[in-house]
Chains A and B, each alone.
Chain A
Amino acid sequence: MNSRRMTVIGPEASPPLDVLIIDDDAASAEACRRILEEDGYRVAVAGDGEQGLRMAEADNPSVVLLDPEIAGVAGFEALGRLAEAASATVPVVMTGKGTVDSAVESMRLGAHDYLAKPVNPERLLESVRRGVELGRLRRRAHAPRMKQDLLLQALALLEEAYSLGMGKRTLLEELAGLETEAKRHAQSLGRTWDKGRAIAEIREDLLQADAIMRSYGFRKNALIQTLLDVQEKFHWLPRHILEWISGRLDVPLREIYGIVHFYEAFSLEPRGRHSFQVCTGTACHVRGSSELLSRVSAALGLQPGQTDSRLTYTLETVHCLGCCALAPVIQIDSDYYRDPDRSRLDKIIKTMQREEAQA
């Protein structure tokens, strides 16, 4: 049962521990342990901060799941000390008192991810999976004895590159290009430039893009279908993925950008987690959709096509939702509303804000 673990190339001492949970809420810690162990991870639990930090230093786990509200060590102190004690470890914060401020603070102190309690199993697994992989990469970079292993792998790659008629320089140029993309991508999302993390993420993205292209047999004429799947998965089309697809399918970027700018379904910017779609079909138009649109626009403080800076809401217009009997209609996430008034809209937005703060 460790299908989710990455296959490790070359001789690498396996870490004794994948995940260390530092949490004084025994029930919650147990629940997390069960979920993770079922997925094949090696897990240990520490019931207080001091013990946790000692274990982290000794066992050098890939990921530490930490509740900053824990007894024994105050506030976010544990997070800071963790970075000193086990620098290759990837910290993930989970807390029941989720506020936007605490999320920002955790991220500032180097947390890799931020989970709200009670923890959603899928989110937990996804976060740990990414963390373990990142931890593996970090460990390689941190341990000097690993340098030789890395060189061996690089030589193997070079050998393959030469056999494909690709020079070392081209290989390095391409890699450097991807690194630049990773940097640009991180910045476009408003993140600080953390090389290891950005490259891990971009690699993950490219693997997913590959999986999508594979499902269409890497056919060029499935380009639009491929892009639709990428859009659905990521909610937008990051540039590094487009360039990757261009290379894989041997389609000029010009054609890809032509398609992306031509069709309505694609977005080159991240969209908000909540979507507000005002129908501007004819039936809605004659029943006052423009009045509804200005009301929604004013309530959100966004123009159609815009997303707020925190990526919470996106306001869009759509030509016809096919439920003309409700005209004028707005679709908010998956629910439809017939001509909601201001107080109704305010209520919906407030609920979203509350949920955002908790998450």
Chain B
Amino acid sequence: MKRLKTVADLEKLRAEAVAQRNAKDWLEVCTGSGCLACGAEAVADALDGEIEKRGLGHKVGVRRTGCHGFCEGAPLVVIHPSDTCYTKVQPKHAAPIIDGLGAGEGPVRDLLYLDEGTGERIERLQDIPFYRHQERVLLGDNVRIDSSSILDYIAVGGYGALAKALSEMTPESVLHEVKKANLRGRGGGGFPAGRKWETTRNAPGEPKYVIVNADEGDPGAFMDGSLLQGNPHSVLEGLILGAYAIGAAEGFIYVRQEYPLARKSIEIAIEQAREYGLLGRNILGSGFSFDVVIHRGAGAFVSGESSALMSAIEGRVGEPRPKYVHTSEKGLWGKPSCLNNVETWATVPHIIDKGADWFRGMGTEGSKGTKIFSLVGKVKNTGLVEVSMGIPLRDIIFKIGGGVPDGKSFKAVQTGGPSGGVIPAALLDLPVDFDELTKAGSMMGSGGMIVMDENTCMVDTARYYTSFLAHESCGKCVPCREGIRQMLAILDNIAAGKGREGDLEILEELAEFMQVASLCALGQSAPNPVASTLKYFREEYEEHIRHGRCRAGICTALIAYEIDQEKCQACGACQRNCPVDAIDKSEAGVFTIVHEKCIKCGACLKACPAKFGAVVKVPAGAVLRKSAEEIGLAGTSR
């Protein structure tokens, strides 16, 4: 009989689960999307095969876990209990890894993380700089849990907070604890979750709903997807706690269509929670009943906006509603509905378990606790990081992220996705919290952090986000639709070298107009990428307009590719890689680019062996001089 009828049943099951886990050594293979893409499944299969071959099944097990975070080292394998962390593991390494277990031959040195600074190999996960500077409250369990096993979650303390709430706390005291913790919504604006819960709880109208927003639409952000995939029960437990506090009997999980793995993971979790009586009628014998339905998104960034998301759940076009009533009062089918994102819900069990004071011990005055970021772009250690609020940007990018690769210099970091902005190098010591980022003209958003180096063009960055929004806006209100359309037209001109004096002032006027007049938060924040790049990198815009020059060498209309006739060794790599046959052999026997055919895809530059360095980027129209250095571009190699 699986169904848990009391808290005591749960604790008994927990003791069994812990005992089972402790009986074996575990090889924890990361099967997050990044590692899967690098062949993690084959690694896990190879380890399974090796264990079976040696008949070690009673002593060693393979656990397929969610995202560990350190995507740069993919595929990752961590040994439990030694915490040995292996990076870039291939199936052929299965045998040596198992040889190295326990009192065996010791860790496989070649697979350990290599610290470039000291030249030393680091064995344990928590000693690797990427992990050492983090505070992994939510992500820590990802390494230790097979998301398809509710027993794994229970073994690490899962559903303890729910048991505590249902047996020792009233709904009011759960709400009070969350308010006291000052948990702010991790999905965007940072609205205090406790206050939102209270509004829904007190709003007239029954039934009330609780909703998980897993429509993580920011390009370059994958925190929520990874959390939902790796530790679905933590989100579910948070949601049940919220429902208890608010008085909801039904919940929805809105999952982005592009996350099939996360969806599967939460489906399994819901199924198991029901089997064990942690979801459904009379949870743990408390008399409290609650159940959840999954709703798949169909691909629309604007569906992350609360009223649009609720329209989508109702089966309609996901347009924001033009109402001045919050969804927490009148949401799904006009009923009070409390919406928080994945990370916010997953934080709740920790607050209930360890108390609001523990949570308030981390972070800054206005922003408590930890925050997960997806650290990507031009940074050495790409991955998911979780840090205490208030940590300086510099620490995230340089201590954890390892700085900018290939000897390039740091230029800016973009936070908050299409609703956020860029933060320049001068503000690197900015403590990262909701209010500081907003003050700097960006925002926390859901936690995307895209590092940019000298080869990133700020006009192009603004244009990238604006063109993203041009297609992702719902198009309903004039300020957002027409404002974005005209902004994009101006940015296109500037990027094409056709910018005019006065363009920047019009951009600023449009930005201000859209911020005030747009119907929903998407439109109001849509000008942020333009406004913030203008604020910090105005001179780059002016260079494009006045001199037709893109210093980063990105705006294709302003650059060309050339082959240095003296450096070319006629190996033909560029010609073989050119997709449009735009490379000819010159009379001298070396290669040249036929500019009329060239689509500037950069394949030739990529193909040209580094030791020759014959293919270079030059400003459009410039005649190739003797060497690339004289052209004066910031970077000419890949």
Contact = CB atoms under 8 A, between A and B. Distances in A.
Interface string A305-327: 00000000000001111111111
Contact of A291 (B222, B299, B313, B602): B602
Contacts of A285: 219-220, 464
B488 interface: no
B606 A286 contact: no
B15 interface: no
Contacts of A343: 576-577
Interface string B34-45: 101110000000
A290 B603 CA distance: 11
A298 B299 contact: no
A239 interface: no
A263 B456 CA distance: 31
Nearest to A263: B298
Interface stretch (A100-108, A146-154, A188-196, A224-232): A224-232
Contacts of A284: 220
B212 interface: no
B295 interface: yes
B317 A258 contact: yes
A295 interface: yes
Contacts of B602: 288, 291
B315 interface: yes
A319 B301 contact: yes
Given A224-B312, A283-B450, A262 B317 contact: yes
Interface string B573-603: 0001111100000000000000000011111
Contacts of A322: 33-34, 222, 225-226, 258-259
A323 B33 contact: yes
A320 to B, nearest CB: 4
Contacts of A262: 300, 317-318, 474
A225 B579 contact: no
Interface residues of B, number: 63
Contacts of B226: 322
Contact of A283 (B225, B317, B377, B465): B377
Interface in A266-298: 266, 280-288, 290-292, 294-295, 298
Nearest to B638: A288
Contacts of A341: 577, 603, 606-607
A259 interface: yes
A287 B37 contact: no
Nearest to A260: B298
A336 interface: yes
Interface in B287-310: 295-301
Given A298-B599, A341-B577, A342-B578, A264 B300 contact: yes
Interface in B20-55: 33-34, 36-38
Which of B315, B318, B461 has most chain A Cβ within 10 Å? Answer: B315
A354 B297 CA distance: 36
A283 B383 contact: no
B343 to A, nearest CB: 15
B374 interface: yes
A327 B383 CA distance: 12
A208 to B, nearest CB: 19
A319 B258 contact: yes
The number of chain A residues touching the other chain, given as a range, is 35 or more
A53 interface: no
Interface of A is mostly: helix
A326 B448 contact: no
Among B297, B299, B301: residue with most chain A CB under 10 A? B299
Contacts of B33: 321-323
A63 B300 CA distance: 46
Contact of B448 (A280, A282, A321): A282
B532 to A, nearest CB: 14
Q: Which of B37, B295, B452, B474 has the most CB of A within 10 A?
A: B37
Contacts of B72: 325
Interface string B343-375: 000000000000000000000000000000010
Contacts of B579: 294-295, 298-299, 342
Interface centre among B220, B258, B374, B603, by most chain A C-beta atoms within 10 angstroms, is: B220
A321 B256 CA distance: 12
A305 to B, nearest CB: 11
Contacts of A291: 600-603
B430 to A, nearest CB: 20
B296 A225 contact: yes
A225 B474 CA distance: 20
The residue in A225, A259, A298, A324 that gathers the most chain B C-beta atoms within 10 A of its C-beta is A324
27 contacts: A219-B315, A221-B313, A222-B315, A227-B298, A228-B298, A265-B298, A266-B298, A281-B220, A284-B220, A285-B464, A287-B378, A288-B602, A294-B579, A295-B579, A299-B579, A319-B468, A320-B258, A322-B33, A322-B226, A323-B33, A323-B34, A325-B34, A325-B376, A341-B607, A342-B576, A342-B578, A342-B579
The 6 closest A-B pairs by CB, nearest first: A264-B299, A282-B220, A298-B579, A325-B71, A263-B298, A283-B376
Interface of B: 33-34, 36-38, 71-72, 74, 217-222, 225-226, 257-259, 295-301, 312-318, 374, 376-378, 382-383, 414, 417, 448, 450, 452, 456, 461, 464-465, 468, 474, 556, 576-580, 599-603, 606-607
